[in-house]
Structure 1
Amino acid sequence: MPSPSASHVVIFPFMSQGHTLPLLDLSKALSLQQIKVTIITTPSNAKSIAKCVPNHPDIHLNEIPFPTIEGLPEGCENTSQLPSMEFLLPFLHATKQLQKPFEEVLETMIKSNTPPLCVISDFFLGFTLASCQALGVPRLVFHGMSALSMAIIKSSWVNASQINSLSMLDPVDLPGMKLPFTLTKADLPEETLKSSNHDDPMSQFIGEVGWAEVNSWGIIINSFEELEKDHIPFFESFYMNGAKAWCLGPLFLYDKIEGLEKSINQNQNPSMSTQWLDEQSTPDSVIYVSFGTQADVSDSQLDEVAFGLEESGFPFVWVVRSKAWSLPSGMEEKIKDRGLIVSEWVDQRQILSHRAIGGFLSHCGWNSVLESVVAGVPILAWPMIAEQSLNAKLIVDGLGAGLSVKRVQNQGSEILVSRQAISEGVKELMGGQKGRSARERAEALGRVARRAMQKDGSSHDTLSKLIDHLRAY
């Protein structure tokens, strides 16, 4: 058994910002427990990762080359570099060719008498299980989703034949699950609805990495026990060999608790968005708008967002990822005094914690939901892809910490949400009674989340227990 001083953990994130950032936060948390961390990644991703962990001497990067394969543009080492999400499947298949260099890294560690306590790798990197088993190293899997969403998805796979017979708006009953909201077939991720189609290439890949997942030693969850405790036992029932789920989140709070974030940010000049927010004199008056890094939003839909925000009358900060879209004619003049549109990367956590921010029009990716909850900011939910509809249901119907935007009924339209729906949603969230109630619930949830990460809090204690279990393994 390794001595505590020699404790060492390997972390292998999937090459996508939303998957990588929580594992970097976990790396910091482990390093604060005097555990050496080796992050395995590719050269292009190593550059951005190194910028996120500059003050952590116990965190080291080990670079392995990203393979070149047919069907994937050269130089794409991160999903943010893909021309569109149509290239996701070739990208996923390319990552399987990382198995041999990954094994070589582990073998070198073992031969040099620095074997890791475990490997924590992303769900999409299912090949890591076989390598870990061959070398006698426990593998923990990381999803980046809540336990509730994962439990719903797993149960939906098991009950696919019954669900397929339902219409999209029919309620879904999942045996053994007590849900905090009414679930319909339309709320389930597209990939889940396709899971019974064994000819679908994405379903085949998910089935492959899913088998590796359920045979792993344990599961890391970026959430907190107070939010998940009713769903953990059911979720764990899908795993083999008594694998345990470890709720360690919200992971990004480790920096705040240890005071590291402050020391890092003190050396940085305020961003344009922070300066703009500092000029807003009324607390909780600005809505923050961001749809994440993965979903493709059409130009016509972005036009509707612009008109909706303008018509709402509320100040806003809006992060736009598209490089081709520009504001509709005459709009710049209308919004110049009360709207800021930014196209470069922003520190979302910093924005959400600013006193001027009173709401978040969000795609409801799990990282964004956690960051909003911790900041006590209610969400105007507009889910787009993956399990975001489940996150939206939880935050709006299950927890009461947000509202939903109304969708256009015409499924073939490029415009999914009208300017009127955006305007009405923003007005209600920022100035209506429902919005005030959602803010109160979000603030209460934020207090619980922050307490979980403090000394003697549930997530803080769970991390200590996980380390003890691994050292005794």
Structure 2
Amino acid sequence: MFRKFRRIMAGEKQESFKILMFPWLAHGHIIPYLQLSKNLIATHDNFTIYLCSTAVNLHHLSKHATASLQLVELHMPSPPELPPHLHTTKNLSSHLIPTLIKAFQESTPSFTQTLQTLTPDLIIFDIFQPWAPKIASSMGIPSVYFSTSGASSISYYHHIYTYATGAGFPFPALSLPESHIARMKNRGPLIIKDADDDFAFGIYRISTDFVLVKSCRCVEEKYVDYLSTLCKKRIVCTGPLIASDADEDDMFEKSEIMEWLNKKEVGSTIYISFGSECFLSKEQIGEIAKGLLLNKDVNFLWVVRFPFEERERRIEEEMPVGFLEAVGERGLVVTGWAAQRRILGHPSVGGFMSHCGRSSVTESLYFGVPVVAAAMNVEQPLNAQWMVELGAGVEVEREGGVGVYLGEEIGRAIEKVMVVEKEGLRNRASRLSEVMREKEGEEVREVACGLLDICVKNKKI
């Protein structure tokens, strides 16, 4: 495949191809789609890529627009409870997610108009819009599904779909209690427009030639191969897709966080963040604070986020009485945005307490930082187990796998990562980081080659 790709790249003049990226409206989906776009453009001069999303999301992406990467607005209905500034999952309360999904599904006229105007050669679509490739197919446009979840968790869930149980999954490091699986089945179907009865696994079937997965074969090879067997499609790994932003880096270098981190010793600090869409209860915040008080020699940087409608909450009122005074200079608590990539790459950071969203665990591996895993929902418990299997993480114990993480268990897991097992965990995380970086370019080239083949083949039809 790579020899063929080099021949194409070495050709005299190649035809230009247009790709339309169409991610779900979540930050954790949009950023991988954006970074994949950038990587493809950097690898192949003849791709022009259009990224389609709502205005509120595009506003934050505007600085990334170029002649080769253009932003296209998706127009969505705005019911009273979901005005345009909430057309994103970022900082959106969970009770509004179904409303957002419904409004998103009602955006098909806008999406259809975009296809008619741009006439792309290919679309790359996300899990919540099976209607998008069906509209594209009616216009003779091929579509490729890009999953932003990792191969390990997807293969486990596909196994459950295929065999109606988690039993028999060939890799025992990953498992969920049958009671948990039963609860998943009893939640009722998610109403997704134009989805087949086997959503979300039938979506693999409608992907042209192969499926893209945000993964690195070097760390998930057995799961990639098993997923391919289950879905009967070739799986192509995109690589880690670590976001890059020079302007953001320059700004962050002068921030309070970087100034504070620069004063800390190498590997002495644990970074705590639960992503942009996971909001902690006051009780859970209190338990994390207890765990930090149990590790008096560990510095910590803690990013706390609140839903949009609660953005005026003051962090001093959320923390246990006397906590901020007790930790003094060894702790920094901030609200809102923080440049996670820059923080994880800072030499003073030696651990990462995370909800184990896919982007977060990928970034932790890429920067060689072991994880204190406090998974919350969906595939996150499986991501946590995968990090333990890799030898790059420690799970916080939680009775029955539900409820609040208790301070004593949080403290114990922090101590393992930052003190007791730090050398082994950090060495293993560093080795994984090295191999991921080594294979990164190769994976991007394979993706570019595969997409180019689809575009060329479709032109000849």
Tell me whether 1:287 sits opposite 2:270 in the alignment. yes
Whole-Å separation in 1 of the counterparts to 2:79 and 2:230 = 34
Is contact 1:401-1:438 (8 Å) kept?
yes
**SS of residue matched to 1:230:** helix
Which stretch of the first structure deviates more once superposed, 461-470 or 399-408? 461-470
Map of 2:396 onto structure 1: 405
Question: Which residue identity is paired with 2:95?
Answer: E
Shift of 1:266: 3.8
Residues 247-300 of structure 1: CA deviation (Å, up to 9, x unaligned): 0111126x5xxxxx45763466522211110111x1111000011122232101
Structure 2 counterpart of 1:90: 99
Alignment equivalent of 1:298, drawn from 264, 278, 281: 281
Amino acid at match of 2:363: E
**What residue is the counterpart of 1:57 in the other structure?**
67
- Paired residues of 1:127 and 1:212 also in contact (CA < 8 A): no
**Residue 22 (str. 1) matches residue 12 (str. 2):** no
Q: Is the 8 A contact 1:295 1:385 kept in 2?
A: no
The 2-side partners of 1:312 and 1:401 are apart by: 20
Task: Indicate yes or no: 2:28 matched with 1:38.
Answer: no
CA distance in 2 between partners of 1:104 and 1:237 (Å): 37
Q: What CA distance in whole angstroms lies between the structure 2 residues aligned with 1:74 and 1:225?
A: 39
Cα distance per residue 1:186-237 (max 9 Å; x no partner): 6x9x6x645544x814277775454344322132211111123223333123
Partner AA of 1:220 in structure 2: L
**Match for residue 215 of structure 1 among 188, 194, 206:** 206
User: Is 1:249 matched up with 2:239?
Assistant: yes
**Aligned-pair CA distance for 1:306:** 1.4
The answer for the alignment partner of 2:301 in structure 1 is 317
CA RMSD of aligned residues (A): 2.4
> Which residue number corresponds to residue 173 of structure 1?
167
Structure 2 spans left out of the alignment, 5+ residues: 1-12
Q: 1:350 to 1:90 in 2, by over 3 A?
A: same
Report what 1:168 is aligned to. Answer: none
Q: Does the alignment pair 1:276 with 2:260?
A: yes
Distance change in 2, residues 1:4/1:195 (3 Å): farther
SS of 1:200 mapped into structure 2: coil
Output the TM-score relative to the length of structure 1: 0.84
SS in 1 for 2:49: strand
Contact 2:124 2:145 in 1 (8 A): yes
Following the alignment from structure 1 to structure 2, what is the Cα–Cα distance between the partners of residues 246 and 77?
Answer: 30
Q: What is aligned with 1:123?
A: 127
Paired residues of 1:67 and 1:94 also in contact (CA < 8 A): yes
Aligned: 1:445 with 2:445: no
Q: Percent identity?
A: 27
How big is each residue's C-alpha offset from its partner over 1:25-58, in whole Å with a ceiling of 9 and x where there is no partner?
011112212211111111111101214x15x431
* Counterpart selection for 1:265 from 249, 254, 265: 249
Q: What amino acid maps onto 1:21 in structure 2?
A: I
Q: What amino acid maps onto 1:446 in structure 2? A: S
Does the C-alpha gap of structure 1 residues 90 and 193 become closer, same or farther in structure 2, counting only changes over 3 Å?
farther
How many pairs align?
430
Quote how far apart the aligned CAs of 1:155 are: 1.3
Report the counterpart of residue 224 of structure 2 in structure 1.
Answer: 232
- 1:424 correspondence with 2:428: no
SS in 1 for 2:103: helix
Q: In the alignment, what sits opposite 1:169?
A: none
Judged with a 3 Å threshold, the aligned counterparts in structure 2 of structure 1 residues 124 and 36 are, in CA distance, closer, same or farther, namely same
Aligned residue type for 1:274: M
- CA 1:283–1:393 in structure 2 vs 1: closer, same or farther (change >3 Å)? same
Q: Distance in 2 between matches of 1:452 and 1:357?
A: 24
What aligned pairs does 1:141-220 form with structure 2 within 5 A after superposition? 141-160=145-164, 163=165, 172-174=166-168, 177-179=169-171, 181-185=173-177, 193-194=182-183, 196-197=185-186, 200-202=188-190, 207-208=198-199, 210-217=201-208, 218-220=210-212
More displaced stretch, 3-12 vs 204-213 = 204-213
Q: Distance in 2 between matches of 1:409 and 1:233?
A: 31
CA contact 1:89–1:202 (8 Å) conserved in 2: no
Corresponding residue SS for 1:319: strand
For 1:132, the equivalent position in structure 2 comes to 136
Question: Retained in 2: the 8 A contact 1:214–1:238?
Answer: no
